[in-house]
Amino acid sequence: MTFFIQLVVTGFAQGMVYALIAIGFVIILKCSEVFNIAQGHFVMIGGYLGYTFLVPLGLPVWASLLAAVVVAVFMGLVIERFTLRPLIGQPVLAVIMMTIALATVLSGLATLIWGAEYKAYHGLLPTIILKVGSISIPSESLIGLIVSVICVTLLMLLFRYTKIGLAMRATAEDLQVVQSLGIKATTVYAVSWIIACIVGVIGGILLGGISGANMVLADIGLKAFAVVLLGGVNSIGGAIFAGIILGMLENVAAGYLDPLLPGGGLAQVFPFIVMIIVLIFKPHGLFGLATIERI
């Protein structure tokens, strides 16, 4: 029982990081109705930025995180201004294809700058260990949990109590009404992509602190996609809940199911199996809104 609780607690911490990354996915989807295929590549870039600022440059953790956020803001502005703004008013498929091209470009940049090599920075993050009885949370997982909770809380406050947050929510509901009220859709889109880049980069730093920075971090975008579908594509709260659930399921599967199979690996696909089962019986996800079209 202790082993099971340990897996669930550690999976909860990992799931919060997944939820943070998925929120960036949901924001882009809600504001522009586009699936951002490059979200996982933001995570990959974040992992490599964490290594760059912590190891070669030797910056303290707080300065490294701040520098990575600054780079993420710049990256979000450049991406929105030069690749996506010219496509406003174009078919959604064209924008999705642009995000695919963007993912390819980011992979190329990572190969060019870091050589697509595995970069580790274990032990450079602060050592914080929480132990309750025989249950303990590893330092990197606990830091990921704390940072993710803080970021998710700040984002929820931003959406609910700030003007730009209200504008983003309104744009997600009806773009034409928002434009008639004098709100610039381009500003909302820019802020959306900045937030998506920030949460992706922060998630990459946190995951990189656990498993190291490598090109495989880009695959986290698939898990974020699974989280979004499971929670409901238009629900930020659903993304948080689904991220936690999938994180715990993945960890429990790694602990109990992988040892039963030669070579293991079931933990990586188990969350997707659960997602498929849920979507068969609830196609709009756990918290998604069913769209009714009148003919």
> How high is the pLDDT of residue 167?
80
pLDDT tens over the chain, length 295 residues: 778 888 888 888 888 888 888 888 888 887 777 788 888 999 999 999 999 998 888 888 889 889 999 999 999 999 988 888 888 778 888 888 999 999 999 999 999 999 878 888 877 666 666 676 677 777 777 788 888 888 888 888 888 888 888 887 777 666 677 777 777 878 888 888 999 999 999 998 888 887 888 888 888 877 888 888 888 877 788 888 888 888 888 888 888 877 777 766 777 787 778 778 877 888 777 776 665 545 4
> Would you state the structure tokens that stand for residue 126, as one six-digit string?
């602060």
Number of Cβ within 10 Å of residue 27's Cβ equals 24
Q: 3-state class of 119 per DSSP?
A: strand
> How high is the pLDDT of residue 263?
67
Dihedral sign (CA 266, 271, 272, 274): positive
| Predicted model pTM | 0.88
- Map out the domains of the chain as residue ranges: 2-281
Residue burial 264-274, b: 16+ Cβ < 10 Å; e: rest: eebbeebbbeb
Q: 3-state class of 174 per DSSP?
A: coil
Number of Cβ within 10 Å of residue 179's Cβ equals 12
Map tokens 């710049």 to a residue: 74
> How high is the pLDDT of residue 197?
93
Kind of pairing between the strands at 130-132 and 135-137: antiparallel
| Cβ-based burial of 292 (10 A; exposed 0-12, middle 13-18, buried ≥19) | exposed
SS3 content of the chain, % helix, strand, coil (to 5): 75, 5, 20
Topology of domain 2-281, CATH: ABC transporter involved in vitamin B12 uptake, BtuC (1.10.3470)
Nearest 5°: CA angle at 48, between 240 and 74? 75
> Would you state the structure tokens that stand for residue 66, as one six-digit string?
């701040």
Q: 3-state class of 132 per DSSP?
A: strand
**The dihedral formed by the CA atoms of 14, 16, 17 and 19, expressed in degrees to the nearest 10:** 130
DSSP class of residue 129 equals: -
> Would you state the structure tokens that stand for residue 261, as one six-digit string?
């199979």
| Residue 130 β-bridge partners | 137
Residues 206/16, Cβ–Cβ less than 8 Å: no
